[in-house]
Structure 1
Amino acid sequence: MVVVALVALILTLAAPSFTRLFNAAAISSGVNQFLADMRFARSEAVRRGGGVVLCRSEDPESPSAACAASAGSQGWASGWIVFHDLDGNGARNGLESLLRVQAPNSGIHTIAADGTPTIFRFGATGRLLAPGSAASLHFGGPELDASLRRVVCVSPAGRARIAGDGTAACGVNG
């Protein structure tokens, strides 16, 4: 009985640490996947001579996955897609093949973007096309400690980087 009580006590003390560890791993995974997909989209645009889009999607795993029209309640946490935008309109149609799909990350409830960008369009030089302004994405919502959250900055040139924890700012040039 004493052993059971000791195990229960240890588990009670260790549970918050495991929650923090799980949250940190989920945020890190989400940030790394987003950065990898941004770099992939940018390099594919250069390789294909332009017309590659990375956009937020409400249902990225659907065969007819499309870009979301608005930020939605979860922002980019709902997932995203990368596709070759043959007609240059920034919207995926049936002829435009998916290059990558990122399903929702169950460990991240919010990925909010300043200015609510839902699409990043890359041209032949790897630079962002219109809207083409700098953006910042905040991984993790206010329910998480600021030290666990991450800010990813996207420059007008199309380069993405981690700015730091939830208190970091990107500046005017991403």
Structure 2
Amino acid sequence: MTTWLLQNVMRSTPTTSSHGITLVETLVALAILSVLLSLAAPAFHQLHQKWKVLQTAQSMESTLLLARSEAIRYGGNIVLLKIDNATSPNTGCQNASTKQEWGCGWFLFRDLNGSGTWTKNEPKLHEIALDGSVNAMHSSGGASIKFNRYGLASGLNAKGMTFSPAGNTASDGISSSATRTLCMAAGGRIRIIEEASCPK
């Protein structure tokens, strides 16, 4: 009886066979994936540009806020100085050939002798080194921004500082949708706008 029951149960159990993914199915899936990636790549590139530009502008904003507080703390003589091509820690960076170009980065220091230029005995308070993927243009400005004892800046003009993607494609440069401008009012209010220049 037990043998008969076991045989009937085994007969009624359906047998299933498992198959793996075929080569054709794999190739079709890869083809669909490559089409989707090719469609999404430009959007990802533009998103990455916007993120990089905004991150750089925010780094400048935080540096300016630090400079103001340190100037009040030390009674002035705080200077924000651009890093030029020759002194850039990132040797490949070539975005700082003129006084207006801050694309290799900047550093903040205490100007102990009041010269406006950095010497090795003057302490650096903060430094940002850029890799050259973002242009930072201080239009009509100089290579330094000085802060007095009240935390007010001289050298950051009304046009502000513009950040844009560096490169040679049509989506790069100041006309890019990723371009941001940092504007600082006379009273010290800082804001980042989605324009190529500060409003008058």
**1:114 matched residue in structure 2:** 139
Measure, in 2, the Cα distance between the counterparts of 1:105 and 1:34. 15
Q: How many residues end up aligned between the 2 structures?
A: 161
Cα distance change of structure 1 residues 69 and 97 upon mapping to structure 2, 3 Å threshold: farther
**1:20 matched residue in structure 2:** 46
Measure, in 2, the Cα distance between the counterparts of 1:41 and 1:135. 19
Q: From the CA coordinates, give the structure whose radius of gyration is larger.
A: 2
**1:51 matched residue in structure 2:** 77
Superposed CA RMSD: 2.4
Cα distance change of structure 1 residues 18 and 132 upon mapping to structure 2, 3 Å threshold: closer
1:139 aligns with 2:163: yes
Alignment of 1:1-174 (within 5 A): 1-58=27-84, 59-61=87-89, 70-71=98-99, 75-108=101-134, 110-129=135-154, 131=155, 133-140=157-164, 143-144=172-173, 146-162=176-192, 164-171=193-200
Measure, in 2, the Cα distance between the counterparts of 1:170 and 1:55. 25
Asked whether the equivalents of residues 117 and 135 of structure 1 are also in contact (C-alpha less than 8 Å), the reply is: no
Cα distance change of structure 1 residues 112 and 24 upon mapping to structure 2, 3 Å threshold: same
**1:65 matched residue in structure 2:** none
Cα distance change of structure 1 residues 19 and 156 upon mapping to structure 2, 3 Å threshold: same
For structure 1, the residue ranges without an aligned partner over 5 or more in a row are 63-67
CA positional deviation for 1:49: 0.8
Asked whether the equivalents of residues 160 and 197 of structure 2 are also in contact (C-alpha less than 8 Å), the reply is: no
TM-score (norm 1): 0.81
TM-score (norm 2): 0.71
